[in-house]
Amino acid sequence: MKCGAVEHWLLTERSDTPLPMAVRTHLAECTACLLRRQALLDLERLTKRLPLPPSPPQIKARLWERLDRSDPVITPAPAAAPHRRRRARPRHTRLVAIATVACLLIGVGLMIGRLSKRPQTPEPEPSKAPEVVRVVPIPKKAVKPLVVRLADQNSQLAAASNATQRLDVFKRMAEEIETDALAKARSGPVDEISRLVQLHQMVVYSGIAARTSELPDSDKAVILNQLTRSLTSSAARIERENTTLLPAVADMLKPMAATCRTLASDLVNGKTTLPAVSPIFDDAALAQLVKNSLRLANEKDPLKRAEVSAETAGLLSQTIILFSASGDTESVDGLGTHLSTLMESGVGDNLDRAASDDWTGDRKGEMDLVRQRVDLARQVLEKNLAQAPPESAMGLQRVLEVSKPGWDRAFKGGKGKGKGPPMFKQDFMPKGRDKN
Amino acid sequence: MDDADEPLLVRQAQAGDRASFAVLVERYWERIRRWLYGYTGNAHLAEDLTQETFVRAWSAVRSLHGLTGFRPWLFRIARHLAIDARKGPRGKATRELPVTLASDAPEPVTVLLETEALRKLREACDRLPSLNRQAYLLWAQEGLPYSEIAAILDSTEEMARWRVCKARQALVKDLKDYLGQS
């Protein structure tokens, strides 16, 4: 087992999880990983000890007062119940209660008056007063638009540091597209399904399949095995769904299942030649986002990666403006966060790497161009903010605030000393010892 | 903490038994408040939101069905309230004065180091992307499994795992001078 795999295991498991034999063996030999483990143990211990300011007891007492006032649907508990102390209510509470009853009476009176003025229509008289139900619904979060979910994956791709992580991102991207296509197949609009099927094929072949050859030999067999299972289960899911759909709609989804099955069977048979994927000539944000993600994953040159990320940032800025104009604040906020991550990991970190590789300073001009591109994306947001109506302006303002660290990082990128890979590179390495 | 009786307590609360709900409040009050404090960075806001969470929970407990456990459901209510609060005028997260102010009494070096480390950790947590911070605190402080974190954050288990992983990476990097010393 190599350091990367051990690090990943340590990062995702709790300290009390028993160490697998492979991890234990590695830790016995690798001081750097042992130190990492110790650091993570300390972090977990410290987090549990983070102080919490004391809370005044009357806060909880107020909760019971509020519940006393506001739960006509629920039958009162026995007098012995804890916290339910029957006591004379304070004067102001009584006044509030009287005022509430008065308001209700006035409201009922007004309603009766209005009803009596209506033209006589045969209406069944209610047999009893309507039951007052004070159930406060939990706000139900709508499913985020696909473009927001793909932007999230794109920003994670920019932060991914190895082939395994990149493969995971493309797997999630394919699943997001698949879920969206199935939702559209069930409740429309169905005319978008073909485009989603095409994008899915692109992600599966050019994103997932292309990454399999980059996997480290040590973990390859396990990861490919998981991938095959996941692809087969995706295909089965689509096929199962197809049995409930109209035949014409099911036909549209069939290539999606076929793509999953083809790659799964190629992986089982150890086939490495990828089928040719027809390029998508589609300028819609969704297609652009997928294409940029593939470019980002295929590009080895950090400066080119920064350039692709800057291009995606411009695309996200445009998309944010569209969402803010339509009043979708949740998507605006989500995209703002993804934009910030993209700026930090996709632009800033890559510019740093490019600068540290550029001994001669030949590529300084290219780096400036990337920064200009980033600046342009910000200007687009600022310009629209200046002219936006108040309801859109709030969202755009928030995006600019949320993404500020990202912009700052992107502008600083490549101007100082290169940072190198995002974590653990030198900080925990004992001198004179190599990372495995 | 005995969670085995939780389904029974929830069913009784759904039937209107306030005593059962009181047990649930006692069980989760501090956990919800601690998580909200970590999330919002504002103790007063966290208190208000904790109270509001239980008011909402009491009003809507009948709508809770077997598919979702009480714990993720409660944290989801808290999270939605916190999101709404952050959109409002008081939403700006501001870290308040530290709870324990430094006294004049001399303190052992280890205690000072620990206090400093905790302060740095709080600051580093504040710098994490919001969703990563929420996921990490649920994982590290509340000890929730990834499946529940995913349910609370409206996300997938894989994504929850990724967020915790990224948060831990960032925190270890930020606190490198304070970790691994023991």
Q: Does A31 touch chain B (CB under 8 A)?
A: no
Question: Residues of CATH 1.10.1740.10 domain(s) within chain B?
Answer: 1-96
pLDDT of residue A431: 41
The nearest alpha carbon in chain B to A67 belongs to B55
Answer yes or no: is A143 within a domain. no
Q: What is the pLDDT of residue B154?
A: 85
Tell me, yes or no, whether A110 and A188 share the same domain.
no
Nearest-CB residue to A12 (from B54, B63, B165): B165
Mean pLDDT of A3-24: 86
For A332, A378, A380, B69, the CA distances from A374, given in Å and listed in that order, are 19, 6, 10, 45
Residue A122 has pLDDT above 50, yes or no: no
User: Which residue range(s) make up the domain with A402?
Assistant: 299-420
pLDDT at B7: 86
CA-wise closest residue to A73 among B6, B25, B60: B60
Give the pLDDT score at A277. Answer: 63
Report yes or no: A374 and A347 within 8 Å, Cβ to Cβ: yes
Return the number of other C-beta atoms located less than 10 Å from residue A93's C-beta.
13
Q: What is the pLDDT of residues A307-319, one digit of tens each?
A: 999 989 888 888 8
The mean pLDDT value for A282-287 works out to: 74
Q: According to CATH, where is 1.10.10.10 located in chain B?
A: 98-182
pLDDT tens for A266-280 read 888 887 666 666 655
Average confidence (pLDDT) over B131-146: 93
Q: What is the mean pLDDT of residues A321-335?
A: 82
CA atoms lying within 13 Å on the CB side of residue A276: 2
pLDDT value at residue B79: 93
Residue ranges of A 9-28 with Cβ closer than 8 A to chain B = 11-12, 14
Answer yes or no: do A319 and A367 share one domain. Answer: yes
Examine residue A436 and state whether it is found in any structural domain, yes or no.
Answer: no
C-alpha closest to that of A303 among A380, A362, A377: A362
Same domain, A35 and A88: no
- The ipTM, to two decimals, is 0.83
Residue A432 belongs to some domain of the structure: no
Residue B32: what pLDDT?
Answer: 94
Say if the Cβ atoms of A67 and B58 lie within 8 Å. yes
Our measurement of the distance from residue A43's CA atom to the centroid of its chain's CA atoms, rounded to an integer in Å, reads 25
Assigned domain for A363 exists: yes
The tens digit of pLDDT for each residue in B83-108 reads 888 765 544 445 554 444 444 454 56
Phi, psi of A416 (to 5 degrees): -110, -150
Q: What is the pLDDT of residue B68?
A: 63
Torsion sign (Cα): A66, A70, A71, A72: positive
pLDDT of the residue at A352: 84
Look at residues A239, A258, A291 and tell me which one is the last residue of a structural domain.
A291
What band does A218 get if pLDDT is binned at 50, 70 and 90?
confident
How sure is the predictor about A93, in pLDDT bands with cuts at 50, 70 and 90?
A: low
Select B1-96's CATH number: 3.40.30.10, 1.10.1740.10, 1.10.10.10, 3.30.70.20.
1.10.1740.10
pLDDT recorded at residue A291: 87
Mean pLDDT in residue range A144-153 = 87
User: What is the number of helices (H) and of strands (E) in chain B?
Assistant: 8, 0
More confident residue, B1 or A150: A150
For tokens 């650091």, the residue is: A39
Residues 210 through 269 of chain A touching chain B, CB cutoff 8 Å: none
**For position A420, what pLDDT does the model report?**
41
In 3D, which of A199, A361, A381 has the Cα closest to residue A286? A199
Q: Which of A260, A291, A322 is where one domain is finished? A: A291
> How much of chain A, in percent, has pLDDT values that exceed 70?
75
Token pair 């007062």 is found at A65
| Mean pLDDT, range A61-77, rounded to an integer | 61
Mean pLDDT of A208-230: 85
The tokens of A308 are what?
């692709």
Instruction: Please indicate, yes or no, whether residues A104 and A154 belong to a single structural domain of this protein.
Output: no
- Same domain for A26 and A84? no
Give me the number of domains chain A comprises: 4
- Asked if A53 and B17 come within 8 Å (Cβ–Cβ), the reply is no
* Mean pLDDT along residues A326-336: 82
Tell me whether residue A172 is in a domain.
yes
Query: Given A8, A59, A156, which is nearest B47 (Cβ)?
Result: A59
Mean pLDDT computed over A119-135: 40
pLDDT at A346 over 80: yes
Q: How far is CA B156 from CA A165, A417, B161, in A?
A: 16, 37, 9
Q: Please report the sign of the dihedral spanned by the C-alpha atoms of residue A299, residue A301, residue A307, residue A310.
A: positive
The CATH code belonging to domain B98-182 is 1.10.10.10
**What is chain B's mean pLDDT, rounded?**
82
CA-to-CA separations, A356 to A29, A262, A296, A347, in angstroms, rounded: 31, 42, 20, 14
Query: What does the pLDDT average to over A387-404?
Result: 80
B180 to A38: CB separation less than 8 angstroms, yes or no = yes
* Least confident residue range of A150-159, A368-377, B48-57, B101-110: B101-110
Residue A38 inside a domain? The answer is yes
For residues B3-8, give the mean pLDDT: 80
From A97's Cα to the closest Cα of chain B, the distance in A is 18
**This prediction's pTM:** 0.47
Chain A: residue whose CA lies nearest to B83? A330
pLDDT at A82: 36
Residues A156 and A94 in one domain: no
In terms of domains, do A282 and A317 share one? no
Is residue B139 within 8 A of residue B149, CB to CB? The reply is: yes
Q: Tell me what pLDDT residue B91 has.
A: 47
Q: Is the residue at A426 inside a domain?
A: no
Q: How far apart are CA A331 and CA A322, in angstroms?
A: 10
Indicate whether A212 and A278 sit together in one domain: yes
My answer on whether A231 and A282 are in the same domain is yes
Average pLDDT along chain A: 76
